């Protein structure tokens, strides 16, 4: 295992700790055991068949394919979500968006939430799981992503979410919500990061949004007022250097109480405002 971790770190420059964890993830998948078992039985040898399967998965990772796509799942907000190359891989920093949403949703009683660009359903279903009395609507322009989100809802036993095939608000005419959340594409089209790491394998439509990365955020903010109840919040995840611009966009469209919240890395990761008109 140590030798394979060194190979991964050399090939992908992950850092020794991350490379070791990724090797462990592959072995857990092959053996169908928790990490605790793996750590308690370091001497366990793989059968010939399992060794061949492990070698194949390791080779895919050495070529850069994300572990989440290799294993077909990723943990997010304490839940396991199926993922595929049709969906963005849920990231830990996005859990902040869920936390901020839950702060604004009562534990009991009716409350309508809209998740724009749901992908695997990670945000919508995490909210729905934590607030079973709320009514969650999850939309995506990708039919394949929506099917993955529906499958995750079935797997998690979440029943208070409906899925709509829609390009942002286009399929929601006449609907209003008590909260809108979104982790939209926000990477600039020419950003070098699009050709690095996991992003090389993820759907470009879920990552890039125009020359400055803010095209979709502008669209969402401009239209959100027609779909929000009075005093309802719009919360948006964005890039590490976009908070000032996103706050300005929100203010230009009449949102009040505009703010940004930092993630665990100290980066302003989510911005939002309250509709008052």
Domains and their CATH numbers in the chain? 2-64 (no CATH), 84-275 (3.40.50.150)
Position with higher pLDDT, 230 vs 190: 230
Helix/strand/coil for 238: coil
Residue 208 confidence (pLDDT) above 80? no
Q: What is the pLDDT of residues 84-137, one digit of tens each?
A: 999 999 999 999 999 999 999 999 999 999 999 999 999 999 999 999 999 999
Is the Cβ–Cβ distance between 184 and 235 less than 8 Å?
no
Question: What pLDDT score does 277 carry?
Answer: 64
Position with higher pLDDT, 60 vs 193: 60
pTM value surpassing 0.75: yes
Q: What is the mean pLDDT of the chain?
A: 94
Q: What is the pLDDT confidence band of residue 170, given thresholds at 50, 70 and 90?
A: very high
Residue 209 confidence (pLDDT) above 90? no
Question: What pLDDT score does 95 carry?
Answer: 97
Q: What is the pLDDT of residues 127-169, one digit of tens each?
A: 999 999 999 999 999 999 999 999 999 999 999 999 999 999 9
Q: Which of 38, 36, 32 is nearest to 1 (CA)?
A: 38
Give the ranges where the chain is alpha helix by DSSP (H): 2-12, 16-31, 35-40, 48-62, 67-71, 95-103, 122-130, 143-156, 215-224, 243-252
Q: Which of 96, 164, 174, 157 is nearest to 136 (CA)?
A: 164
Q: What is the mean pLDDT of residues 41-57?
A: 90
Out of 49-58, 78-87, 208-217, least confident range: 208-217
């Amino acid at each position: 295992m140590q030798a394979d971790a060194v190979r991964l770190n050399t090939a992908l420059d992950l850092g020794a700790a991350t490379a070791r964890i990724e090797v462990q993830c592959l072995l857990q998948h092959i053996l169908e055991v928790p990490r605790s078992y793996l750590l308690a039985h370091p001497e366990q040898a793989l059968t010939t068949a399992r060794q061949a399967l492990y070698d194949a998965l390791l080779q895919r990772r050495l070529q850069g394919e994300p572990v989440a796509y290799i294993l077909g799942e990723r943990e997010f907000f304490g839940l396991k979500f199926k993922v595929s190359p049709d969906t963005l891989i849920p990231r830990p920093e996005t859990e902040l968006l869920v936390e901020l949403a839950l702060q604004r949703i009562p534990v009991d009683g009716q409350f309508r939430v809209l998740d724009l660009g749901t992908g695997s359903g990670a945000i919508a279903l995490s909210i729905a799981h934590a607030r079973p009395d709320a009514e969650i609507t999850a939309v995506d322009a990708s039919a394949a992503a929506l099917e993955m989100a529906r499958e995750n809802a079935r797997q998690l036993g979440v029943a208070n979410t409906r899925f709509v095939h829609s390009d942002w608000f286009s399929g929601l005419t006449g609907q209003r919500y008590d909260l809108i959340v979104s982790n939209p594409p926000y990477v600039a089209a020419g950003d070098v990061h699009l050709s690095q790491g996991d992003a090389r394998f993820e759907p470009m439509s879920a990552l890039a949004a125009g020359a400055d990365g803010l095209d979709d955020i502008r669209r969402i903010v401009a239209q959100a007022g027609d779909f929000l109840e009075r005093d309802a919040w719009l919360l948006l995840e964005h890039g590490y250097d976009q908070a000032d611009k996103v706050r300005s966009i929100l203010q230009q469209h009449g949102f009040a109480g505009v703010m940004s919240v930092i993630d665990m890395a100290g980066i302003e990761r989510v911005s939002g405002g309250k509709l008052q008109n």
